Amino acid sequence: MIQSNGRKRVVISNVSPQIEGGQYPAKAVENETITVSADVFSDGHDEIDARVLFKHQDEQEWSSASMAFTVNDRWVAVLKLETTGFYQFKVQGWVDHFTTWQKGLQKKYEAGQDVNVELQIGAGLIRQAAEYAADSDKVELLNYHAGLQTQGDTASAVLTALSGELSAVMRRYRDEDLVSTYPQTMLIEVERKKAAFSTWYELFPRSAAPEPGKHGTFNDVKKLLPRVAKMGFDVLYFPPIHPIGEKNRKGKNNTLTPGSEDPGSPWAIGNRTGGHKAIHPQLGTLADFKSLVKEAKKLNIEVAMDIAYQCAPDHPYVKEHPQWFRWRPDGSVQYAENPPKKYEDILPINFETEDWENLWKELKSLVDYWIAQGVTIFRIDNPHTKAFSFWEWMIREVRKTNPDVIFLAEAFTRPLLMERLAKAGFNQSYTYFTWRNTKYELEEYMRELTKTDMRYIFRPNFWPNTPDILSPFLSWGGENAHILRLVLAATLSSSYGIYGPVYEFCVNTPHPGKEEYTDNEKYEIKHWDWDQYTRIKEIIARVNIIRKNNPALHTTWNLEFAESSSDQIICYGKADPESKNNLIVVVNLDPYNTHGAHVKIPLWQLGIRPGVPYTVRDLLSGSRYRWQDEWNYVQLNPYEMPAHIFRVEQ
Amino acid sequence: MIQSNGRKRVVISNVSPQIEGGQYPAKAVENETITVSADVFSDGHDEIDARVLFKHQDEQEWSSASMAFTVNDRWVAVLKLETTGFYQFKVQGWVDHFTTWQKGLQKKYEAGQDVNVELQIGAGLIRQAAEYAADSDKVELLNYHAGLQTQGDTASAVLTALSGELSAVMRRYRDEDLVSTYPQTMLIEVERKKAAFSTWYELFPRSAAPEPGKHGTFNDVKKLLPRVAKMGFDVLYFPPIHPIGEKNRKGKNNTLTPGSEDPGSPWAIGNRTGGHKAIHPQLGTLADFKSLVKEAKKLNIEVAMDIAYQCAPDHPYVKEHPQWFRWRPDGSVQYAENPPKKYEDILPINFETEDWENLWKELKSLVDYWIAQGVTIFRIDNPHTKAFSFWEWMIREVRKTNPDVIFLAEAFTRPLLMERLAKAGFNQSYTYFTWRNTKYELEEYMRELTKTDMRYIFRPNFWPNTPDILSPFLSWGGENAHILRLVLAATLSSSYGIYGPVYEFCVNTPHPGKEEYTDNEKYEIKHWDWDQYTRIKEIIARVNIIRKNNPALHTTWNLEFAESSSDQIICYGKADPESKNNLIVVVNLDPYNTHGAHVKIPLWQLGIRPGVPYTVRDLLSGSRYRWQDEWNYVQLNPYEMPAHIFRVEQ
């Protein structure tokens, strides 16, 4: 035996989406359309056909979707997957002898050739199909077979042979022995919509007390929930809520000499009162936390928990599982370092421990524990400093039983590591958006995220700031900069978030020489006047309502840049074909000066006929403009409003 | 057990060359350098290291080549493979704890920190390495171990710890349990040099008779061998030499009404006297053929045979193996067709036959038979109309026993089919060069061939003409066009060929309405005056000598285009670093008019310092020019010589 079946003539290659040769799934959310494509071709000049077989993990039978030829031997099918979980798909192709025969018959008949023998050949193909056919089609096929063989009226036999009805029934059958299948079965993971469309607000619960100088509690946060909901956020994310290490605790501004009142960094996790499964006593009880999570859900807000797999030196693990840490020859435990810098309040976990299996199980059990308390979203701290194989295993295992759980990767590191974490299973990722300010930088970065295979792997979550990052653009550009960066984050990416209070109140004094806030909330308790008026607060709320009401903003993948005549004015379109929701966003990237520009509206993508006037309505200001043709003028004063979010209304 | 070993932290991805996920080999020739590259990275901030393991099919042990970091987590190693046959390679990576430790030690020491504990940690790493080390290194390592532990002179201990000698011996050892290996093993097929560097001349033996009106023979061809050798060709390729079908034979100019004298097309193979293993009686005997092959070899010319897997209606297969053909309901055999056109002198083979295994074996036996007669090169006719899986099997099987055999794919079809044939094993391929005339077209096409993965799969063989193709450029542009196309073919691609006599004598009258020769030699016997003078003949011979003497022309992959100020002047460099052979080719693409241009010489690639004069010597004319700096002027009159082939002489 030379090989299994040498009669199969169709070749299939370059199947997409295909992540690491099918090792990892492509990502989708419920009801998102996914385009499956492949190179499919055969030797010779015969017609071919192709299909995608797909099935959900819980299904036994494969469903089938016809593929359509596009160009250069590329075939595509558009799938819309409705159920969360894993789908498998495979691409198949075969020589379509019947269509080949039909086309030949037509040409010969039109050329006036004798087609009697041809009709007999076609009848033979129909009879053959009748053998594979479902009972319901057998009779019909045998009738066609008889019809084509009737000598006499050639014209009507040809008409029958080429009829759409016959083509339709014949397309259902083929010699399955001759069907080629691409050797790898690919995966698509379908998640709930929130994995792609989410609006995050970060705050430190300990700063939530209504009175200055007091340690905030979960109950204080509960009172802020209506405010968060009113501003349009649907994820409320807290830094770690666990007991904070007392040994080598950091003081204000990351100093090594804390006062006795200094609360320490929440990321230095664990002390004599407990570790990652415990709650910092001053925040309240587990019951308080669960009650907060429950209250939030009523307002359609999910609480996101921070998971930082690292320990303060007094974390219980250090004594209970010393084998999970590195020990120095002098008997001391190895703290985190970036020589010559030392981070003595933090112990990294040694993922090379020989006890790695127990370590992995314990780390997963933390996530399981908090899921049991009602948490559905986790923001993972610095995942790129923990083993990739661990994430792959942990996320897969958790999602087997809890497919709705979402993990956000807080990795600001090199491109391949960020991409790999996404492949390994993270459902959302922090990005380089924070440092992409110019039109060129933004367009280039968005192209990478939306027009490459990243689109199937890496779901961006755009953060203009975090407790660790105050970009120079924000610290120099004041409130105008905060507003325009928010509009960009909220309209370029379908998921975005802000480290909230400092953003709303435009706190933006950098720590000298660093891209970080001075008097950072990481090391001290703050008190916020939640009721103070700021222009940006109103705008945030409005932008979030616009996001909610416009399906075009519920995905990142539909982004298309449009030309603009100014380097300071960026313009892009987002369209949702199903709801016919078409937006054009224009942002002045300069926080200091008014700029005008001509922008080119992509009429044909919006279905607008050239020469016919159309209305664009600015969802931010409520103004309407009557436009005509492609190029139209916009002008934006950042002290009034640095952006338009136009909805196209014909 | 969660997985085999969760302690491995290094991730490897995107290994190159990688053809269809490792299913097919990348192609190389003896002593060609091949760059293996991969993304290799780990979590965290530790130093890592990587290597390529490779071995020839006949070797038991893996050889190892260190990889070097380039940029963006990409690592590379350059392999030079010396033995023909298949090599496997795999990429491995690991965390390099010793180098990580060294870098930390240095920083801490330079920052004035106490490093006594650090030195003990390093001593521990050395002792651990001594456990894996070869006996020859054990003592040295244990000495280092002792040296680092000696309390006292910290400065000299640090110096020892950071020494190149210690680094070198430590680099040889690591905990092999923690080494990550890319899951797929990749393949490289190394072939003899001729697979990449060959110069082809095509002629019809039946037109080789010295007297007009006579049928040429192998013995006539034998007399032409010195001429072919003198012109610098090393492959002499004949259209099929088998008996020509008598049934439905074609007449002159592809007519359906042949005279009794018409010899028919050699591609209509087989008649009552035999099929693919027989020789057309008028050409001579098998002994004559073998003698010709032998004579040619003495002149370093290999005879290439044409294999066309198709049959005349009177080929013996039709009776012996009717199951290999399609039969029509009226009992007639199916001829080739492209409806409404019929090609009744040709029967295609039905690769969907249920008797495919015997068919494949028989088709392979034809190749084996001619190999046994001394043939080493096959030009395969229209391989894209036969099953891809057959080629893959046949070429692999033939090359298992005859690794020096070369197959040239004569496919002028869609891009993916041409690429796939090359993946399936064809060693050389016809190309679109024949229709790429403008500077933009040539640069674009060469980029596709040399700067994409095509470079590892698809070895171009550039033909300005074939018996089937007379491009408009040649038929309009006369001898000047023939000369410039030859220079392009011979210098852009390391393999090229011409359908010789018509090219040498600039026969270029097209058949009306077709890109084909009128009075085509495919359907009639020609008589050539081999001694007539033509300008192009002298140039062909000179170009072929230049090709032979300049290693830079022995590969296609070193091509780099240079800027030129005229769209009619194309300029490119080819360099062979090993022999320091640096060429700059300039061609006037306009066969009618003189053009001048400034061309930009890539000084830094040639190792020429700016401002220092250098000499370029035109290997076509013998002239020397003294140039300086990047931009220099050239002018080419196509009636004199449309090209310069400069050798850079400093």
pLDDT tens, residue by residue, A481-537: 999 999 999 999 999 999 999 999 999 999 999 999 999 999 999 999 999 999 999
Residue B310 is labelled as binding a ligand: yes
Phi then psi for A632, rounded to 5 degrees? -135, 155
Task: Determine the pLDDT at residue B150.
Answer: 74
Task: Determine the pLDDT at residue A153.
Answer: 87
pLDDT tens, residue by residue, B488-508: 999 999 999 999 999 999 999
- When pLDDT is averaged across residues B360-375 and rounded to a whole number, the result is 98
Task: Determine the pLDDT at residue A151.
Answer: 65
The Cα B378–Cα B404 span in angstroms is 11
* Chain B interface test: which of A1, A2, A15 (most B C-beta within 10 Å): A2
| Res. B1: pLDDT tops 60 | no
- When pLDDT is averaged across residues A584-597 and rounded to a whole number, the result is 98
Q: Could you tell me which chain B residue has the CA closest to the CA of A8?
A: B352
**A71 close contact with B: CB closer than 8 A:** no
Residue in B6, B356, B417 nearest the CB of A390: B6
Instruction: Give the SS3 label for residue B148.
Output: helix
The Cα B232–Cα B226 span in angstroms is 10
Contacts of A388 in chain B (CB under 8 A): 9, 11, 43
Residue in A43, A337, A384 nearest the CB of B385: A43
pLDDT tens, residue by residue, B176-224: 999 999 999 999 999 999 999 999 999 999 999 999 999 999 999 999 9
| Res. A51: pLDDT tops 70 | yes
Beta strands in B321-433 (DSSP E): 336-338, 341-343, 347-348, 377-381, 406-410, 428-429
Residue in B9, B72, B352 nearest the CB of A351: B9
**A124 close contact with B: CB closer than 8 A:** yes
Contacts of A339 in chain B (CB under 8 A): 103-105, 107-108, 111
Domains, chain B, in order of start with CATH, read: 10-96+186-190 (2.60.40.10), 112-173 (no CATH), 201-310+360-551 (3.20.20.80), 559-649 (2.60.40.1180)
Q: Could you tell me which chain A residue has the CA closest to the CA of B355?
A: A7
Contacts of A9 in chain B (CB under 8 A): 351-352, 387-389
- When pLDDT is averaged across residues B548-573 and rounded to a whole number, the result is 97
**B71 close contact with A: CB closer than 8 A:** no
Q: Could you tell me which chain A residue has the CA closest to the CA of B421?
A: A43
Which residues, including other chains, have CB under 8 Å from residue A142's CB and lie 6 or more apart?
Answer: A127, A130
Task: Determine the pLDDT at residue B233.
Answer: 98
Check: CB of residue A79 under 8 Å from CB of residue A54.
yes
Within 10 Å of residue B428's Cβ, how many Cβ atoms?
Answer: 27
Task: Determine the pLDDT at residue B70.
Answer: 97
- When pLDDT is averaged across residues A60-87 and rounded to a whole number, the result is 96
Residue B282 is labelled as binding a ligand: no
Task: Determine the pLDDT at residue B549.
Answer: 98
| Res. A650: pLDDT tops 80 | no
Residue in A338, A387, A417 nearest the CB of B6: A387
* Chain B interface test: which of A102, A389, A453 (most B C-beta within 10 Å): A389
Check: CB of residue A160 under 8 Å from CB of residue A178.
no
Contacts of A121 in chain B (CB under 8 A): 328-329
Lowest mean pLDDT among A392-396, A600-604, B275-279, B624-628: A600-604
Residue in the block written with tokens 């931009």: B631
* Helix H or strand E segment including B54: strand B48-56
Instruction: Report the DSSP beta bridge partners of residue B38.
Output: B75
Q: State the pLDDT confidence band at A592, using cuts at 50, 70 and 90.
A: very high
**A352 close contact with B: CB closer than 8 A:** yes
Task: Determine the pLDDT at residue A3.
Answer: 66
Contacts of A338 in chain B (CB under 8 A): 45
**B9 close contact with A: CB closer than 8 A:** yes
| Res. B3: pLDDT tops 80 | no
Amino acid residing at A186: M
| Res. A167: pLDDT tops 80 | yes
Check: CB of residue B515 under 8 Å from CB of residue B470.
yes
Residue (of A60, A14, A59, A19) closest to A41 by Cα position: A14
CB contact under 8 A, B8 and A95: no
The Cα B42–Cα B49 span in angstroms is 10
Query: What percent of chain B has pLDDT above 90?
Result: 96
- When pLDDT is averaged across residues A260-272 and rounded to a whole number, the result is 96
Instruction: Note the Cα B275 to chain centre separation in Å.
Output: 32
**B385 close contact with A: CB closer than 8 A:** yes
Task: Determine the pLDDT at residue B186.
Answer: 97
| Res. B162: pLDDT tops 80 | yes
| Res. A419: pLDDT tops 70 | yes
Query: What percent of chain A has pLDDT above 70?
Result: 99
- When pLDDT is averaged across residues B94-98 and rounded to a whole number, the result is 97
Query: What percent of chain A has pLDDT above 90?
Result: 95
* Chain A interface test: which of B70, B389, B454 (most A C-beta within 10 Å): B389
Which residues, including other chains, have CB under 8 Å from residue A314's CB and lie 6 or more apart?
Answer: A245, A246, A247, A270, A271, A272
A274 in the Ramachandran plot: left (φ > 0), alpha (ψ -120 to 50) or beta?
left
- When pLDDT is averaged across residues A589-618 and rounded to a whole number, the result is 93
The Cα B307–Cα B310 span in angstroms is 9
CB contact under 8 A, B352 and A416: no
Phi then psi for A444, rounded to 5 degrees? -65, -45
Task: Determine the pLDDT at residue A61.
Answer: 97
Instruction: Give the SS3 label for residue B10.
Output: strand
CB contact under 8 A, B337 and A104: yes
| Count of H-run helices and E-run strands, chain A | 17, 29
Kindly tell me the burial class for residue B320, based on how many C-beta atoms sit within 10 Å of its own C-beta (0-12, 13-18, 19 or more).
exposed
How many residues are there in chain B? 650
- When pLDDT is averaged across residues B426-430 and rounded to a whole number, the result is 98
**A358 close contact with B: CB closer than 8 A:** no
Task: Determine the pLDDT at residue A629.
Answer: 92
Instruction: Note the Cα A396 to chain centre separation in Å.
Output: 17
Residue (of A338, A347, A329) closest to B103 by Cα position: A338
Residue in A111, A117, A356 nearest the CB of B330: A117
Q: State the pLDDT confidence band at B151, using cuts at 50, 70 and 90.
A: low
pTM: 0.95
Q: State the pLDDT confidence band at A574, using cuts at 50, 70 and 90.
A: very high
Active site residues per annotation of B: 381, 410
| Res. A1: pLDDT tops 60 | no
Contacts of A348 in chain B (CB under 8 A): 44
The CA distances from residue B45 to A336, A387, A414, B404, B604, in Å, are 11, 12, 11, 49, 36
Check: CB of residue B54 under 8 Å from CB of residue A398.
no
- When pLDDT is averaged across residues A296-320 and rounded to a whole number, the result is 98
Task: Determine the pLDDT at residue A43.
Answer: 97
Q: State the pLDDT confidence band at B650, using cuts at 50, 70 and 90.
A: confident
CB contact under 8 A, B21 and A20: no
Residue (of A65, A57, A9, A62) closest to A37 by Cα position: A65
Residue A650 is labelled as binding a ligand: no
Please indicate whether residue B470 or residue A650 has the higher confidence score (pLDDT): B470
Supply the mean pLDDT for chain B: 96
Instruction: Report the DSSP beta bridge partners of residue B582.
Output: B575
**A259 close contact with B: CB closer than 8 A:** no
Task: Determine the pLDDT at residue A2.
Answer: 63
Return the ∠ at Cα A99 (arms to A96 and A103), rounded to 5°: 140
Instruction: Write down the ipTM of this complex.
Output: 0.95
Task: Determine the pLDDT at residue B2.
Answer: 62
